[in-house]
Structures are given as C-alpha cells and as structure tokens.
Chains A and B, each alone.
Chain A
C-alpha cells in the first residue's frame, strides 16, 4: 500500500542529496542536527562526569574549558538555532500556508550544505585540539591570549550563520508572497507567525555576528587592535556587538518552540487558542523588544551604569509578551478536553519549565541581583530551563506531533509518553539544583569547586544520566516506527490545519489544487472528541 509520496518520489541517494523539495531538505537537516545534538551532548556528559566530584580530576582545566566551549558552540549554533526552523519549519511552513514549496528551493538546499560546511569546520576544530574561549569568544582572551583554535571555530560559526540568514530570507519571502488564496495573515497558524518572526530576527541579527567574528579574526591575524586597550580599543565593544546578535539569538531559539506549543496545546485540549491576536502581537513584540535588551549580559562588564539601568528596564518589559503567551496557553487549557499524548506532555512540560526559566530571567534582569548571580550556576540553570526544558522539549513535542505526517508512520505512544515524563523528571533533577548552586555562589566554567557544593552537583549529574536516557529513547522507538510502525492516516490526531488535509506522508507537491483555507485557525470544539 505504498502510495506515491515525497518519500518515494525518487529513491536514489542523489535524488535526496540534490533535492529541492522542502520536505526532503527538512529531513536532511534533521539528521544533521540530531548528530550534532549528540556531539554537544557528549561534551555535556564529560562536564557532568567531571563535576560529580569537587576536584578537577577527570580532565585538566584547559580541557574542561574546551569542553564547555564546544558544548556551547555546538548546542547553540548547530542544534538549537537551526532545530525547529530547518526541520519542522522547512517541512510545514509551505504546507501550512497552502504552497507547493518555499519561494527559493535551491537557496534552501544551499542553506543545508552551508550548514554542513560550517559543521565540518567545527568538527575539525575539535579534532585539531579544540577552542577554549567559551562560546562567547570574549576579547581580549580570544583575540590576544588564547592558544586554541579560535579562527577555525570562528570560521565554522561564521559559515553556519549564512545558513541561518538564507533560511530566514526564504521564510520571510515565502510568507509574504506564497500564501494560498484566502490565507490572510490573521488566518495563519501561530506556528507560521512564529517562523516569520524568527526569520526576521535571523536576518537582522546574524550579519552582526558575522562581522564581529570577522573582526576577531582580523585582530588575531593582523594584530591590529579593534578591541585591544593598548591600541585604544575597548573589549566591552566586542560584548556589545556579540550580544546584539546573541540575545536575539535566544529568541530565534524560543519563538519557534512557542509556535510548536500553540499547535499542540490547541489540538490536545480540543480548543481554539485563547487570544489569537494577542498571541500574534506577543510573537512580534518578543522579536522586536528582544533586540533592545542585550546589555543585561553586561551589567558587571564595565558598561555605563545608566546603560545598565535602561537595559534592565527593557529586560523586564520583554518578559511581558512571553507572560501573555503563558497565560493564553493556560487559558486555552481551561475547560478544554485534555488528553496526554506524548506531544502534549512535551508541550505542557514546556509551559511549566519555560515559566520557571522566564521568571528566573527576571531575577537576573534586576541589575542589583545580577551582581551576585552573574557568572554563577544560577545563570546556567536559567538558560538551560529555557533552552532545554523549553526549546528542546518543544522540538521533541513537535517531532512527535508531526511524525505521522512526515513519515507516514505512528510511533509507539506508551514508549513516547514514558520517555517524555522521564525527560521532565531528569531535566528537573539535572538543572534545579543548579539554581541553588548559583545562589550559594558556585561559579560557572570552573572544573573544580568547593566541597560544600558536592551534593547538589551529584544530584545534577545523576539527573543528567536520566536525561541522557530520555534523549536516547526516542532515537530507538522513533527509528523502530520507521520500519514497524503502523501506517498513519492523513489526520491521526483529528487536528485542524492544512497540513492535516494532505496524505501522510504528503505528496511531492503538497497540494494537487490550491486548498480551501478555513475561515479561522484552530476551529476545535472540546465537546466533539
């Protein structure tokens, strides 16, 4: 019963490697980012092994520096930033708006190969001996003192940045020009809005990263001082330029996750999203205000006190649209008809963990409190709650939710539910103790620590074991489903949205005829379960 779909439309390796089909490109990306996730995860494993005991006895300090650096570089640029956009975004965006493909399919393929090229540079960096500057490349260490492979690492990130820019450009143009007749802006699923906002951030922020990395390279190679105080430069300027990109970057990571969560919660609560327009405005507000808060990474750097004040205020402000989204998801659940399939467990997990991550962000946004918490494990816990408890869980939720659509197979629900629950527990055990550690004063990026911090560190490392298992489990049962899973119908979840009106998996050109666009998105009703 193997009908023609995008999966079997051409079965040679070549047909996959030079495909222009957004759906195949999505799958290529998903394989690549999964591989990099485990590379970054391997570095994390070493870190947690080292930190199980107070002494620095597993690796040297230098090696530890390289471990957390590569963990950050790989996880940020080769996993989190591309994850949802290049996999779920690539696959779903055209279908959700009723289009046959993205505006620029060849650019999409180029984006993939540029990602791979950047990845190769990064892997070479690791094999050659690593980089030890932290993923933040702060000067003057990165420009003048580090003896590690800074240029190689910077080159890898520079290159992969263009992958980001091209994907963002493609999405923006697609949403503007390729919506099916009747697909007005305020009829689009929130996932599309999220991809759109993310793309704007990608396009406007990433070039600045490219430039600042180029400046580090120039300084390192030519010895001329853009950031060198002896030559009149200011290291804080590096931080301004770096964080101008890197703060919006975290919204590149979280906005898509929020988009996924809106799709899942509405489906499994059988209820339309509460406050659709406010959700859209919130997505836009996060994207824009997110550009105005970067100085909260620099409260103790030496920047002007008045700058600190303004950045602190704006950082409080950017929490508002995020909070609105959390309220609206909650309101959507209220009086909904809720079921707990795996995607829903992931989505609910996102809401709870993002809430904690977001609130602790406010602690850090308060400049006076930040003076004590900065560069401690509190910060590490905060961003992992959002990046891992939030973004990664949303990504996995989305993978599960759309798995039947993408692969044409159903995964084993019980395994997935257990895995999701295990992940939630493992995650909290890993990262909650880190809030306490930070509060108690344990600094980050150190391979050893005072004896009194050991118990919390042991809990954290134990949690990491559980978390690791919860990450491996989907690899197993999802792969199994590819070969033995039950064939999926077009709409196994009885969900709304154009993607559920096409077959599972979809045909190569998505729609034979322009689809009929529903009057409003999420036209669920809790009664009709």
Chain B
C-alpha cells in the first residue's frame, strides 16, 4: 500500500501546518474568484433592475432543457469529485482515477452541450452586434442580456477548461502513486476549485435560464 507523504517544505515546521496553509491559501484564492465573477453579477444585477422586460424576453430564448441538463451534469461532477477524494482516503487508487476521469468527462460534456447552445443561438440571431435579431433588440435590455450571457458563461467555460486541465494533471499524478491516504493535498485543492466552478454555475443557471418562464 502506498504510504507516500508529502515533502515538507523548509518554511514549514510540520506537515499539519503545511496542509493548513495550503487549504487556507486555496480558500483565499477561491474568494478572489468569487469577487471576479461577482463583478459580472454586479453588472447583471444593475441591468436587470433597469431592464426587467428585456431580461425576461431574452431568458425565454435560452434553452432551458440544455441548461437543466448542464446543471445536472455539473452537480453530478461535484459528486464524483468528492468521491474521488474519498477513494484516495480509502487507498483505492484505481477507483479514484476512474472517478477523476468521470469528473473530467462530465466537464467535457458540459462544454460540448454549451457549444451546441452557442451554435443554435448564433443561428437564431442571438449574438449581440449587427446580427442580433431586430425585433428582440427593440425591447430594451434584451441585447444586453445576451451580451452578459456570453461574457458570463464564457468566463465560466474558461474556468471549466482550467478545471479540466487540473483534473487531468491530478489523474496523472495519482497514476504515478504520488498520493496516499495520508497525503492528497493537491487533489483536495483541485476539488475545491472544481466545486467553486460548480457553484458559479448554480447561480448562473437560474439567472439566465429561468428569469421568466411563465
């Protein structure tokens, strides 16, 4: 059984201190991500207040079925991520690799479905700019809604992609036996990042797909 322990970096006195610092560092970084996306949520809120009809109309043109599927996919990927960490704790290396790969697969599916959405939306003249549907543009704020939709889901997709890269690196490191039940900090940190990406989507989904379905 693998009993790999981490290298204790020289600035730390104990492994416990090192782990505590790593986790606190990650949570601090996540806070910066919350503020980063938060600025966009602020823009969203400002214009939603100003253009309630535009947002409602725009939202009706998003694909709620695909959006719901994407939500289910990401939430399930959080499950598999958490289970992957559990597997490492139980010294089940192959299971953890499988779960990490599953998580990544969910991430890829999410991106693929999203891409499909974007393609549909392009054909339906829902990209802001001179191709934007004229009747929709006539309702103030509809174009702004879609501008924010692409910027925010686009930034989110970028973060999913980064998450995928992190997952693949973790898969490789796990494959090489770098982790053990007593040391798996990078997986834990990667998991925190992945969960945050999920949380961002948890808010994006109702704010873009469910503004007004009545």
| A450 close to chain B: CB less than 8 A | no
Q: Which of A199-207, A267-275, A423-431 contacts B (4 or more CB under 8 A)?
A: A199-207
List CB contacts (< 8 Å) of B2-44 with chain A: 9-13, 17, 20-21, 24-25, 28-29, 31-33, 35-36, 38-40, 42-43
Known A224-B128, A233-B144, A509-B10: A210·B36 in contact at CB below 8 Å: yes
What is the CA–CA distance of A170 and B11 in the complex, to the nearest angstrom? 13
Known A207-B36, A226-B43, A241-B42: A104·B25 in contact at CB below 8 Å: yes
- Give min CB distance, B145 to chain A, whole Å: 9
Known A212-B39, A232-B51: A103·B25 in contact at CB below 8 Å: yes
Q: Of the candidates B21, B129, B147, which one forms a contact with A178 in the assembled complex, judged by CB atoms under 8 Å apart?
A: B21
What is the CA–CA distance of A177 and B141 in the complex, to the nearest angstrom? 48
Question: Are B40 and A211 in touch, CB under 8 angstroms?
Answer: yes
Question: Are B47 and A232 in touch, CB under 8 angstroms?
Answer: yes
| B98 close to chain A: CB less than 8 A | no
Q: Which residues of A contact B35 (CB under 8 A)?
A: 204-205, 207-208
| A35 close to chain B: CB less than 8 A | no
Question: Are B24 and A204 in touch, CB under 8 angstroms?
Answer: no
Q: How many residues of B contact A (CB 8 A)?
A: 36
| B115 close to chain A: CB less than 8 A | no
Known A103-B25, A237-B46: A232·B141 in contact at CB below 8 Å: yes
- Give min CB distance, A225 to chain B, whole Å: 7
What is the CA–CA distance of A104 and B10 in the complex, to the nearest angstrom? 11
| A512 close to chain B: CB less than 8 A | no
Question: Are A232 and B54 in touch, CB under 8 angstroms?
Answer: yes
Known A204-B31, A208-B39, A232-B51: A100·B10 in contact at CB below 8 Å: yes
- Give min CB distance, A462 to chain B, whole Å: 44
Question: Are A218 and B151 in touch, CB under 8 angstroms?
Answer: yes
Question: Are A172 and B39 in touch, CB under 8 angstroms?
Answer: no
| B140 close to chain A: CB less than 8 A | yes
List CB contacts (< 8 Å) of A235-274 with chain B: 237, 240-241, 244
Question: Are A172 and B28 in touch, CB under 8 angstroms?
Answer: yes
| B143 close to chain A: CB less than 8 A | yes
- Give min CB distance, B152 to chain A, whole Å: 11
| A347 close to chain B: CB less than 8 A | no
Q: How many residues of A contact B (CB 8 A)?
A: 43
Chain B: CB-nearest residue to A165? B32
Question: Are A169 and B29 in touch, CB under 8 angstroms?
Answer: yes
| A44 close to chain B: CB less than 8 A | no
| A215 close to chain B: CB less than 8 A | yes
What is the CA–CA distance of A237 and B10 in the complex, to the nearest angstrom? 47
Chain A: CB-nearest residue to B35? A207
Q: Which residues of A contact B46 (CB under 8 A)?
A: 234, 237, 240
- Give min CB distance, A403 to chain B, whole Å: 25
Known A177-B24, A207-B32, A237-B46: A226·B11 in contact at CB below 8 Å: no
- Give min CB distance, B199 to chain A, whole Å: 16
Most buried by B among A174, A207, A232: A232
| A176 close to chain B: CB less than 8 A | yes
Question: Are B140 and A101 in touch, CB under 8 angstroms?
Answer: no
Most buried by A among B11, B42, B43, B50: B11
Q: Which residues of B contact A203 (CB under 8 A)?
A: 28, 31-32
Question: Are B11 and A99 in touch, CB under 8 angstroms?
Answer: yes
What is the CA–CA distance of A100 and B10 in the complex, to the nearest angstrom? 8
Question: Are B51 and A176 in touch, CB under 8 angstroms?
Answer: no
Q: Which residues of B contact A226 (CB under 8 A)?
A: 43, 144, 147-148, 151
Most buried by A among B29, B43, B50, B140: B43
Question: Are B39 and A211 in touch, CB under 8 angstroms?
Answer: yes
What is the CA–CA distance of A89 and B118 in the complex, to the nearest angstrom? 47
What is the CA–CA distance of A382 and B33 in the complex, to the nearest angstrom? 34
- Give min CB distance, A213 to chain B, whole Å: 10
Question: Are A178 and B51 in touch, CB under 8 angstroms?
Answer: no
| A173 close to chain B: CB less than 8 A | yes
Q: Which residues of B contact A206 (CB under 8 A)?
A: 32
| A223 close to chain B: CB less than 8 A | yes
Q: Which residues of A contact B31 (CB under 8 A)?
A: 203-204
Q: Which residues of A contact B39 (CB under 8 A)?
A: 207-208, 211-212, 241, 244
Q: Chain A 172-185 against B: per-residue CB contact (8 Å), 1 yes, 0 no? A: 11101110000000
What is the CA–CA distance of A123 and B66 in the complex, to the nearest angstrom? 46
What is the CA–CA distance of A165 and B141 in the complex, to the nearest angstrom? 34
Q: Which residues of A contact B141 (CB under 8 A)?
A: 232
What is the CA–CA distance of A240 and B39 in the complex, to the nearest angstrom? 10
Known A176-B24, A178-B17, A178-B21: A224·B29 in contact at CB below 8 Å: no
Question: Are A173 and B32 in touch, CB under 8 angstroms?
Answer: no
| A1 close to chain B: CB less than 8 A | no
16 more contacts with CB within 8 A, not counting A176-B21, A211-B36, A226-B151, are: A103-B25, A105-B9, A170-B25, A172-B24, A204-B35, A207-B33, A207-B36, A211-B40, A224-B128, A225-B128, A225-B144, A231-B143, A231-B144, A232-B47, A234-B46, A514-B13
A-B CB proximity, top 10 nearest: A211-B39, A207-B36, A101-B11, A207-B35, A177-B21, A103-B21, A208-B39, A232-B144, A224-B128, A173-B25
A-B CB contact pairs (8 Å), 23 listed:
A100-B10, A100-B11, A101-B10, A102-B11, A104-B21, A104-B25, A172-B28, A173-B24, A177-B20, A178-B21, A208-B35, A208-B39, A210-B36, A226-B43, A226-B144, A226-B151, A232-B47, A233-B144, A234-B46, A237-B47, A240-B42, A509-B10, A514-B13
